[in-house]
Structure 1
Amino acid sequence: MNDVAHTDTSGLSHVFSAALARADQWRELNALARAWADQRAASEHGERYRTQCRTLLGRITRLEFCWAYPGTRLLSALDAALDAGDASAFARLVQRISSTLLSGDYRRDDQAWDLAGDGDGTLLDTAPPDVTGSAQRPYFEVLIVTPTDPSTWMRAGEEMRRLRRPDDPFQYATVHVGSFEDAALAAMVNSNIQSVILVDGFQYASRHQIPDLKAYLARHIQIDQSAAGPGALSTRLARGLRNFRPELDLFLLTDRSPELLAGSDDAAPVRRVFHHVEEPMELHLALLDGIKDRYETPYFDNLKKYATRPIGTFHALPIARGKSVFSSNWIRDMGTFYGTNILFAESSATTGGLDSLLEPTGNIKKMMEATARAFGAKRAYLGTNGTSTSNKIVVQAICKPGDIVVVDRNCHKSHHYGFVLGGAQPYYVEAFPLTQYSMYGAVPLRTIKQALLNCKAEGKLDRVKVIDMTNCTFDGHMYNPKRVMEECLAIKPDLVFLWDEAWFGFARFSPFHRRRTAMGAAAALSEKYRSEAYREQYKAWKAKHADVDDKELLETHCLPDPDKVRIRVYQTNSTHKSMSAFRQGSMMLVWDDDFHKVEGPFEEAFFAHTSTSPNLQLIASLDLARRQMELEGYALTIQMTDLALRLRKTINTHPLISKYFKVATPEDMIPAEFRQSGLTDYGPPNASWAETLEAWDEDEFALDPTRLTLVCGSAGFDGTQFKGMLAERFDIQINKTSRNSILVQTNINNTHSDAALLIKALADMSREIEARLSDGGESGQAQFASRVKSLMTDVPDLPNFSRFHDAFRDDAKGTSNEGHMRPAFFMAYDEDNCEFVRLNSDEIDRRLKDGPPMVSANFVIPYPPGFPIMVPGQVISDDTIAYMRKLDVKEIHGYHAAQGIKMLKPDVLANWSASATQ
């Protein structure tokens, strides 16, 4: 991102978020205005500051028509003070506007809209909301796209203002524009806009002179001026806005036959069609009703009502109503700490409006429907034991024993345990390695297709049921799900896809990230395959590849048959990881054309893994997380991404910090062969944002900018050590580490102050390293260099999955590597079937050389990096042992150094193999 002192929305192609750049510019103008006021107005310095203020205000006002506040009257007052040379008045007005924008007081206090700022009630032409006596009413803005003369807009705004009533649950202000381009720009930059009124007849081109406007709009909305017919621009804009910000309520006012238009496909994105403005109060009520639909939290609302009722509890939950706590002599502090509401809103009953998570018929059912709508799914289910359990539910629901699942070996352990429980056979495929950081990336599409073609060649393709991948990965590698699913469906048109988006739930609400999501891809492909244009495209592709063989299929961008293809997509997300939900809150999102075939098994799996006593507060938090993201997720995800981009640039360009620390770039994290665009890093001067988004659309993999791999090995710190230092010295909490890096995640909770805390910590440590190297002489410098070399250069190779032992394979000679992991897992339950061999013993080396093969009896998962380097039934290879011997982490699940590696005995395997073939 640009530095604050050089933020310039006159060049939109250089700006990630024009809204955040605008806030920076107002603060910059505030500083300049104060400097001008501090100088004598007629002095040389005073005139220079005045000129700078005029230039910057000109840049700011180019986009101010997109927001209701501060409005034209306050801006005119600023111009007047500037023209009159009244530095004091100009500085006061700028300070007031800047601080109001920062605090958001314009949402709550109508005095912020007064011209004089003294509460004289002077109303602005932007029709400020009525907030007197109701400061808690949520505020939003309504975009009105109209062909009427701008001179009438103030009167129109006042007419809408007069429709408002004291008991309205929400308050709004209006923003008027007169063209397609201005409307699209306003919807992009102004996150306060929640509703759009489209009045037929507006023009296409902007009324404003804004450099790079068309390029900025083209990032997210297809620009086409060839729309023909009356009202075509209205419906085209509606479709564009629906794709860009699907949460918006769209209303169409037309003098055409509204009855006919309302039933046409053109009106599909529109919430309601009105016959021009014949019913203004109905329009006002429709605006409020649209917000109410998103604001309503069925479960949370009922839980609040339940908590206020006088209830006698004769069920098995003593903590409910809090009597056992507040009357206690020993745990009364529990009630003091948690408060009364959390205890009054507890119950083990499913009556009284609370509904049942296992058999929802009331408010939980409504909540699930709202969740599906918000996340772009056909169905949604709620998880209360984290996405670990959600993954097991989905795996068990869509797989039966013997089904083959093509799966990333480095996916979360819950998937592997799901295969054990369900009896599915994993076909492990490898992600590309990032050896220098001791981590893996994601699985190349070619690798996935090769696995499918291997199964096809061996007559097993009918058994391949699922493609199971992690998107995005812990370290930020985003797949191109649309392309992956399209090419795999060309090989097997009924494949089911499970995308573990545990860390990526927020992405639905970011137009930048949405293109890389499972549900976004499912919707896009579903629409694509229903179109006549695709049928023609497929017909041409089929004619060109009529005699295509498997080798050519591997090298070709394949297209599926529209008459055979089924869109069957499941997405799990850890709502608590990226949204405002309590820990273990999760969601399962479904877009499955054949869900009727698995609805019964899905319910059974849901029953099997879901507690009959789910935490009510957790369910309510999922309801609230959905509400927040539908109403302000767009703003929050843009802000968190912008903050991450600023952190990246600040760290990597800081003259001192960058000597010892670095945030890995897309070029560092994704090999060139998977970055067909050649994108190396985000933002100018590396690439324009239009080029960046084009890369996100086309490249095989992209890197989520909100996940920052901060390399600390060059500072002499391993990841675990550095994580501890940040926590102990600077109160900075980090989740994941690698051998020489930590993962810094920005989310909707982070602020600029958080970013400043991290930068200050890195700067302080960099200064300490400088001082230590200066004082340590050649010996100290050599020791430091040796430490850095051991962390950054002498890194262990990453082991790939070897193979399942022949005892657990149906065809030991086949090229596909699927295996029966379930019997291997349960064989280890009998200790007589197992042996332990110390990692550094000669026995390990002898058996690697001469045999018999060593076969893992359980999962072995080092943290970090957190992927299983051994699974039950896997033959242990040289590179796995070499990797384990070089590991310097303390936490390895499934391995105890005092015992050694747990293996299945060779004679047990021989007997199993013999009995299995009889």
Structure 2
Amino acid sequence: MNQDPSQKESPRLANVLVAASLRADQWRHLNAAARAWAGGGANAAQGRERCTKQFAEAMRLEQCWAYPGERLLAALRQALADGDAALFARLVQKVSSAILSGDYRRDENAWELDDDLDRNVLDALPPDILGVQDKPYFEVLVVTPADPAQWLRSKDEMRRMRRAEDPFHYAVVHAGSFEDAALAMIVNHDLQAVVLVDGFGFSSHHDIPDLKDFVSRHVSLDADDVRPGTMSLTLARTIKNSRPELDLYLLTDRAPESVAGSDEAAPLRRVFHHVEEPMEIHLSIIDGVNDRYETPYFDNLKKYAMRPIGTFHALPIARGKSIFGSNWIRDMGHFYGTNILFAESSATTGGLDSLLEPTGNIKRAQNAVARAFGAKRAYLGTNGTSTSNKIVVQAVCKPGDIVIVDRNCHKSHHYGFVLSGAQPYYVEAFPLTQYSMYGAVPLRTIKQALLDCAAGGKLDRVKVVDMTNCTFDGHMYNPRRVMEECLAIKPDLIFLWDEAWFGFARFNPMHRRRTAMGAAAVLTQRYHSQAYRDEYAAWKAKRGEFDPADPALLDERLLPDPDRVRIRVYQTNSTHKSMSAFRQGSMMLVWDEDFHHVEGPFEEAFFAHTSTSPNLQLIASLDLARRQMELEGYGLTLRMTDLALKIRRAINTHPLISKYFRVATPEDMIPAEFRESGLRDYGPPDSSWLDAIEALDHDEFALDPTRLTLICGAAGFDGTQFKGLLAERFDIQINKTSRNSVLVQTNINNTHSDAALLIKALADLSREIESRLAQGGALDRTVFDDRVRALMTDVPDLPNFSRFHDAFRDQPDGASNEGHMRPAFFMAYDEDNCEYVRLGSEDIDKRLRDGPEMVSANFVIPYPPGFPIMVPGQVIGADTIAFMRKLDVKEIHGYHAAQGIKLIKPSALAGRRAGSLH
């Protein structure tokens, strides 16, 4: 029998990821219990006891939110104490509905005991203030030593400061201590500002036994670490590290001038004297949120669209006259509407600014992006991250530079090397053969490549380490550790982190620790500290100089010289892949202490790859995506993570679905040697969230919980077949597949209804398989088992990169494996240099056995898995041919079965000098 939800024990906070979701569940369960009590009859006593228990559980964290507020909570307590089941049920229904629907953001009646506004509270407000439906709502945390008995009066006073011209409205949450403020900051997604009033203490005022376990995931809770008189500034720094988007204000009775000038006040937006005029605080709060709400380009585009403009430029679609006046394409205007046509132009006048040389609102938009994503600079891309990658590669690399790069990275990187003339040194990710996919490149492998170059006297030519973070399948690097150890070998290395799928991560403290910009900020602060200098000096004295040939270096934790190290980090993200931007919207984020050496080449590369007619709507959507993420990205990304975990749990614990479908766990996707924590899966019963955070902090690789590899091979479906089935029959769209899996990724667009649709589809398919196998005979079972075996067991080995042909290597006998790919690429332009061999021919087997070597003339990229198994100039090995022969995918870029594999003729390679086109 299913347990009544109202009787479920509230989970320990240590096992809760998103407290806001727990809160909504608790109010929903309390609502069910209250209705049962109100209609309970003879079971009234039992119903009241249940409601008392459920109400107490819900109240554990309720002080962290402004709604429902003291008045409604007091009325609920009184109704419960009086045994008034009807009133209690009515009030619980009111609060529960408002929390689930968000009505409290839009309707003042949601805050009152009945449907009439309390005029004693609101009589000081102008009449039009009551119509707040169209104004965005947020909450402000006030951390104060004041008596909690005064908090309600303080809230009412701040409420009365609302003005008709305020673009937003807010409500106040109070906390009386460091711990309570930290808890509210973590769980309350509506917070946009924090006001710190000097004088509060450290310890919580509430009885929450597991509070420390919950908060310590993101915040260090140790009163001994707080120096006397610095409680407010320590809390400010703590909040800024965890939620950098929040505005912080300090009210102090100390001399505000001296406080404001100190380094410790850097996280604060403004410092007030304790007795400052309250309206100034109110105006500052509104102004701070408005700074993030402002979208310079989008705001101006809206104004431009409303102006009566005559267009004599080369864009007939602008203003829509050619469409709405047409006999044949008026349906285009009806479908897209007028605004998108009115907001089109090929001009950069009228305040629209130029993407190629921004001086106005695009420049301001880029500055806002840099602030929001924690970068020093930001550039907007309108040709997708494929182009953004090429821009960065071409900007930081010149012919002859060596780039240590994941062979499985997106093809845009490989084409970037062709364009720039950089020599790729391909390093291999760990294989996940059972799923026909690769993971990520171990740090040991990256260090080996650097040391090989050092041993060969070529370390000075190594310019960039280029990795994908996180990978398509969710493998997250530990960028801080990778960069730190690589910088110990070469202190001026540039890092390009392709975070195409990971742009959202900045706004989620769980993911942020694995981002390029997050690591750049941490390392910059670390290397400027005296503590690190002492750590480095002790390490250097113990280890001395190191020999690049020393194999012990591969397993030793290396530290860079703080006097030589340079933080040079570039991150690209496909904003459209994880945020609310139109397709091809991309960003390039820069944290480069030597950017003054790169700025000119970067500008040239940007000019080379960016259209002179960029899509204005794309630019505007990037502006808006930044606004949304800076104002609500924290809550959105946590909710999407929570939803992914619920999908994972629902599939893997379902008694029928789990027979045929399964979501791969971190244990499945990351070998134990790279999971030092031993984490098997996220959440109970496998781990607490404190365990998961420890793993995210220290393991070499971690698995992004929002990316779900759904194994479908045990159901007899290959990835491509299953993807088509989900789309055609269930209207479920999937992006990426492998031989026996599909990738389910949650994003900020997904809802519980989407999750239910997927679970229902899997349940229906599982029941159909059960029925078919039950009704069929032994032959049907044998055919099914053979199909599953072919998909899940008899999988092809994954090929590694072999080497570049000697004709494309400077030192054929050297340990490092970089090569000149550009000349090989362009040799294939001359058909006289090329030949073809068919995959099934005996010629291939003979040449593999007896020679001459087969050298690829172009890129060959099967989808899936989507990585190049051949690149120009690569010697083709037996493992690559075996893999191609077992491939059962239809889409292979660079290969046509009727022609065969395109090779560079041995005669064209004979006598060729490396680096030459002749």
Secondary structure, counterpart of 1:512 in structure 2: helix
Q: For 1:736 and 1:904, how far apart are their aligned partners in 2?
A: 32
Aligned counterpart, 1:469: 467
Q: For 1:128 and 1:870, how far apart are their aligned partners in 2?
A: 71
Aligned counterpart, 1:663: 663
Q: Does 1:244 align with 2:245?
A: no
Secondary structure, counterpart of 1:68 in structure 2: coil
Aligned counterpart, 2:28: 27
Q: Which amino acid aligns with 1:796?
A: P
Aligned counterpart, 1:498: 496
> Alpha-carbon deviation of 1:29?
1.2
Checking the alignment, whether the CA contact within 8 Å between 2:121 and 2:156 is kept in structure 1 is no
Checking the alignment, whether the CA contact within 8 Å between 1:115 and 1:124 is kept in structure 2 is no
Aligned counterpart, 1:38: 39
Aligned counterpart, 1:79: 77
Aligned counterpart, 2:299: 301
Q: Does 1:101 align with 2:99?
A: yes
Q: Which amino acid aligns with 2:593?
A: D
Q: For 2:774 and 2:802, how far apart are their aligned partners in 1?
A: 48
5+ residue gaps, structure 1: none
Aligned counterpart, 2:827: 827
> Alpha-carbon deviation of 1:547?
4.2
Aligned counterpart, 2:15: 14
Which residues of 2 match residues 590-605 of structure 1 at below 5 A? 590-605=590-605
> Alpha-carbon deviation of 1:257?
1.0
Aligned counterpart, 1:544: 542
Checking the alignment, whether the CA contact within 8 Å between 1:806 and 1:913 is kept in structure 2 is no
Match among 130, 155, 161 for residue 163 of structure 1: 161
TM (norm. structure 1) is 0.98
Match among 207, 210, 213 for residue 211 of structure 2: 213
Aligned counterpart, 1:759: 759
Checking the alignment, whether the CA contact within 8 Å between 2:827 and 2:917 is kept in structure 1 is no
Assess, with a 3 A threshold, how the Cα gap between structure 1 residues 229 and 675 changes in structure 2: closer, same or farther.
Answer: closer
Match among 179, 196, 199 for residue 197 of structure 2: 199
Assess, with a 3 A threshold, how the Cα gap between structure 1 residues 121 and 662 changes in structure 2: closer, same or farther.
Answer: farther
Checking the alignment, whether the CA contact within 8 Å between 1:7 and 1:25 is kept in structure 2 is no
Secondary structure, counterpart of 2:22 in structure 1: helix
Aligned counterpart, 2:109: 111
Q: Does 1:652 align with 2:655?
A: no
Aligned counterpart, 1:559: 559
Secondary structure, counterpart of 1:912 in structure 2: coil
Match among 351, 360, 365 for residue 362 of structure 1: 360
> Alpha-carbon deviation of 1:93?
1.3
Aligned counterpart, 1:726: 726
Which residues of 2 match residues 119-518 of structure 1 at below 5 A? 119=117, 121=119, 123=121, 132-227=130-225, 231-518=229-516
Q: For 1:898 and 1:50, how far apart are their aligned partners in 2?
A: 77
Aligned counterpart, 2:775: 775
Q: For 1:878 and 1:179, how far apart are their aligned partners in 2?
A: 66
> Alpha-carbon deviation of 1:526?
0.2
Q: For 1:123 and 1:814, how far apart are their aligned partners in 2?
A: 80
Checking the alignment, whether the CA contact within 8 Å between 1:113 and 1:128 is kept in structure 2 is no
Aligned counterpart, 1:885: 885
Assess, with a 3 A threshold, how the Cα gap between structure 1 residues 777 and 833 changes in structure 2: closer, same or farther.
Answer: same
Q: For 1:528 and 1:128, how far apart are their aligned partners in 2?
A: 51
* CA shift digits 1:807-831 (9 cap, x unpaired): 0000000111100000000000111
Checking the alignment, whether the CA contact within 8 Å between 2:820 and 2:915 is kept in structure 1 is no
Q: Which amino acid aligns with 1:795?
A: V
Which residues of 2 match residues 683-698 of structure 1 at below 5 A? 683-698=683-698
Q: For 2:587 and 2:158, how far apart are their aligned partners in 1?
A: 39
Moved more, 635-644 or 2-11: 2-11
Which residues of 2 match residues 793-808 of structure 1 at below 5 A? 793-808=793-808
Checking the alignment, whether the CA contact within 8 Å between 2:132 and 2:169 is kept in structure 1 is no
Q: For 1:3 and 1:689, how far apart are their aligned partners in 2?
A: 26
Assess, with a 3 A threshold, how the Cα gap between structure 1 residues 797 and 366 changes in structure 2: closer, same or farther.
Answer: same
> Alpha-carbon deviation of 1:86?
2.3
Assess, with a 3 A threshold, how the Cα gap between structure 1 residues 532 and 659 changes in structure 2: closer, same or farther.
Answer: same
> Alpha-carbon deviation of 1:81?
2.0
Q: For 1:855 and 1:266, how far apart are their aligned partners in 2?
A: 60
Checking the alignment, whether the CA contact within 8 Å between 1:199 and 1:252 is kept in structure 2 is yes
5+ residue gaps, structure 2: none
Q: For 2:148 and 2:763, how far apart are their aligned partners in 1?
A: 52
Q: Which amino acid aligns with 1:708?
A: L
> Alpha-carbon deviation of 1:916?
5.0
Indicate the percent of aligned positions where both proteins have the same amino acid. 75
Secondary structure, counterpart of 2:510 in structure 1: coil
* CA shift digits 1:671-695 (9 cap, x unpaired): 0000000000000111110111001
Q: For 1:327 and 1:238, how far apart are their aligned partners in 2?
A: 59
Aligned counterpart, 1:581: 581
Q: Does 1:816 align with 2:816?
A: yes
Q: Which amino acid aligns with 1:247?
A: E
Checking the alignment, whether the CA contact within 8 Å between 1:114 and 1:121 is kept in structure 2 is no
> Alpha-carbon deviation of 1:114?
1.1
Q: For 2:118 and 2:156, how far apart are their aligned partners in 1?
A: 18
Assess, with a 3 A threshold, how the Cα gap between structure 1 residues 4 and 497 changes in structure 2: closer, same or farther.
Answer: farther
Q: For 1:231 and 1:194, how far apart are their aligned partners in 2?
A: 26
TM (norm. structure 2) is 0.98
> Alpha-carbon deviation of 1:88?
2.1
Q: How many residues align?
A: 913
Q: For 2:4 and 2:617, how far apart are their aligned partners in 1?
A: 42
Assess, with a 3 A threshold, how the Cα gap between structure 1 residues 916 and 376 changes in structure 2: closer, same or farther.
Answer: closer
Q: Does 1:871 align with 2:871?
A: yes
> Alpha-carbon deviation of 1:216?
1.1
Moved more, 193-202 or 904-913: 904-913
Secondary structure, counterpart of 1:144 in structure 2: strand
Checking the alignment, whether the CA contact within 8 Å between 1:114 and 1:123 is kept in structure 2 is no
> Alpha-carbon deviation of 1:92?
1.5
Assess, with a 3 A threshold, how the Cα gap between structure 1 residues 227 and 816 changes in structure 2: closer, same or farther.
Answer: closer
* CA shift digits 1:587-639 (9 cap, x unpaired): 00000000000000000000000000000000000000000000000000000
> Alpha-carbon deviation of 1:846?
0.4
Q: For 1:725 and 1:701, how far apart are their aligned partners in 2?
A: 33
Secondary structure, counterpart of 2:223 in structure 1: coil
* CA shift digits 1:340-365 (9 cap, x unpaired): 00000000000101000001000000
* CA shift digits 1:557-595 (9 cap, x unpaired): 000000000000000000000000000000000000000
Q: For 1:355 and 1:777, how far apart are their aligned partners in 2?
A: 71
Aligned counterpart, 2:860: 860
Q: Does 1:615 align with 2:603?
A: no
> Alpha-carbon deviation of 1:300?
0.2
> Alpha-carbon deviation of 1:837?
0.5
